Structure 1
Amino acid sequence: MERMGMVIGIKAEKIDEYKALHAAVWPAVLAKLSAANVRNYTIFLREPENLLFGYWEYHGTDYEADMRSIAVDPETQRWWTFCGPCQAPLASRADGEHWAMMRPVFHMD
């Protein structure tokens, strides 16, 4: 299992919309995440900085293939058309990233 953290900005005027979307995530999107070996997915909001911090645990053996399976899923792509306009990707993110990935520096069980 690999713990993964990521961060992205959120537009202040879109926070309520983003919360509403995530209060009722589409079942097909959740199923795709589960099928791609994503577990314990949590998104935190930090205001007033308007940052989203995402955390999940990856339980698979081929991360790249699992992430591709999410990215090509039509229902997930449709979900992103609603979530994407709410988000403000960080200028410091790596090429090809939407959410900026983070490296762990500490963990306590």
Structure 2
Amino acid sequence: MQRVCFLLKVREERLDEYRERHREVWPDMLDALSGAGWRNYSLFLREDGLLVGYLETDDFGSAREAMAATEVNARWQAEMAPFFEELDGRPDEGMRPLDEVFHLD
């Protein structure tokens, strides 16, 4: 199993709307994530817009490719892109995994 953590930056003026959008993620998006092998996926949002994502998967590259191939992901990414700062492209393409330096089981 691979643990993946990544950072993105949500525009401060859109924090409330970003939170609201994630209270009701589309059911077909949730199904696509699960089907692509994204497990134990969480997003954490700080008041200044720092977004921390965490997920577990067997192979992050394959899981990203599987999501990129879905129509629902294309729609979701297009709707979510305006929420982010310093983003060149889709939010899912802006994820840069952090190196894990410690883990306690």
TM-score by length of 1: 0.83
SS at match of 2:100: coil
Question: Once the two structures are superposed, what CA deviation does each residue of 1:22-59 show, in whole Å capped at 9, x if it has no partner?
Answer: 000011111111111110100001123x210000000x
1:88 alignment partner AA = E
TM-score where L is the length of structure 2: 0.86
User: Which structure shows the bigger proportion of residues in strand conformation?
Assistant: 1
Tell me the residue number matched to 1:102.
Answer: 98
Output one character per residue of 1:62-102: Cα deviation in whole Å (capped at 9) or x when no partner.
Answer: 543332120121111101112111012479xxxx9412221
Alpha carbons of structure 1 residues 82 and 90: separation in structure 2 relative to 1, 3 Å: closer
Quote the sequence identity (%): 36
Asked if residue 34 in structure 1 is aligned to residue 34 in structure 2, the reply is yes
1:2 paired to 2:2: yes
Judge conservation of contact 2:2–2:60 (CA < 8 Å) in 1: no
2:83 matches 1:86: yes
Gaps of 5+ in 2: none
Work out the CA distance in 2 between the residues paired with 1:3 and 1:28.
24
| Aligned structure 1 segments of 4 or more residues deviating by more than 4 angstroms | none
In structure 2, the residue matched to 1:71 is 68
Aligned to 1:57: 56
CA change 1:75–1:90 in 2 (3 A) is closer
